[in-house]
Each structure stands twice: as structure tokens, then as C-alpha cells.
Amino acid sequence: MNISRAGVTGTIKYSLFDKNNNLKAQGINHNLVVNEGLYYLADKQLSSPAQDAMKQMVLGTGTATPGSADTWVSGPFPGNGTALGTAGSVSPGTIAGTLNAFRYIGTFGAGYATQNGINEAVVANSSPGTAGTEPTGQILAHALLSPGTINKGASDTLVITWDFVFNAA
């Protein structure tokens, strides 16, 4: 089931690979474009947008159902957050097959974001604090990973793909 807010629907997919690139786990779930995300999307229509581009994915261990007022993961942890050009990576938003869709792909490589009990993720436009805490900035979407609870070992790689589709009313 996709949740639609202002005509935007989306899915989050994850794949967890071991050090030999064997698939260990995978899943798919809907994501929720939160209030901050709707403000962000509206801001991007301006001739001089005030908001920075979405360039981070951050993981968490929380299990609460995402809500429209969410501003961060509910269970942050340190050593986490993908960004362009760091130990993890996130692609800039790209067109995903049709002109009304876009995609972000985040990679949490070996030795990065090692944690048991990963259950959630956000797409954000700023880096987490050193303890994984909420920075100044916005998130676009929040999702629980399903089936939940990923145990990412030090030699594992976790790839997360977010797809967003803009639908006509």
C-alpha cells in the first residue's frame, strides 16, 4: 500500500549484502512524505529555493509508525548517514523511469553504519550529529523497513532505494 500526501506516493526498498556480495535480506515498504517534505517540495518550485538539496539518508532503530509531523528517525545511532562523497553514499535525485518519478539510492558500505536492530530510515538535507542526532534541516520522507530489523555487520553493505511518484489528482 502506498500512502499519498498531496499526490506524492513512494516506496522504500532495501537489500543487505554480505562481504562476498551475496544477498542476505531484502524488503519493500511504503514511505511517508512528511510535512517538512511537502514544504521542501513546494520550496523547490521557487525561482530561488531556500532549502538545500536532499543529500543524506539516515538509519534508525526506532519502531514507531512514521507520522506526518516527524522530523528525524526515532532511534538515531552514531556512525550513520550517507552523503555524497563520504563513507556511505547517496545519489542525487534522479528521474526514475517516468517524468513524474524520482529516485534516491543510498549505500551504507562495509565498516559504516554497523548496527543491530535497524528498522527505519529518512531522506534528509543535512548531516546527522556525531551521535546520529537531529541536525538543523529537513527530511523529505520517513519509512519503516519491512520486513523489519536489519542486523548490519561490519562487513555488510546495505543499499536503500527510495522511489517517489507524483500523481495527478
pLDDT band of 25, cuts 50, 70, 90: very high
Distance CA 81, CA 159 (A): 12
Number of H helices, E strands in the chain: 1, 13
Q: Is residue 125 part of a domain?
A: yes
Whether 91 is covered by a domain: the verdict is yes
Q: Which residue has the higher pLDDT, 91 or 21?
A: 21
Residue ranges making up the domain that contains 97: 8-166
- On whether residue 133 sits in a domain, the answer given is yes
Domain count, the chain: 1
- Where does residue 88 rank: exposed (0-12), middle (13-18), buried (19+ CB within 10 A)? buried
Question: What's the average model confidence in pLDDT over 69-94?
Answer: 73
State the pLDDT at residue 129.
Answer: 62
Give the model's confidence band at 4: pLDDT under 50 very low, under 70 low, under 90 confident, else very high.
Answer: very low
Rounded to an integer, the average pLDDT of 36-42 is 88
Would residue 138 count as lying in a domain? yes
Confirm whether 2 is domain-assigned. Answer: no
- pLDDT recorded at residue 92: 67
Q: Coil, helix or strand for 154?
A: coil
Q: Which of the 8 DSSP states describes residue 54? A: P
Domain membership flag for residue 90: yes
Question: Does 86 have pLDDT greater than 60?
Answer: no
Average confidence (pLDDT) over 51-75: 89
With H, G, I as helix, E, B as strand and everything else as coil, classify residue 17: strand
Residue 84 in any domain: the answer is yes
- Mean of all residue pLDDT scores within the chain: 84
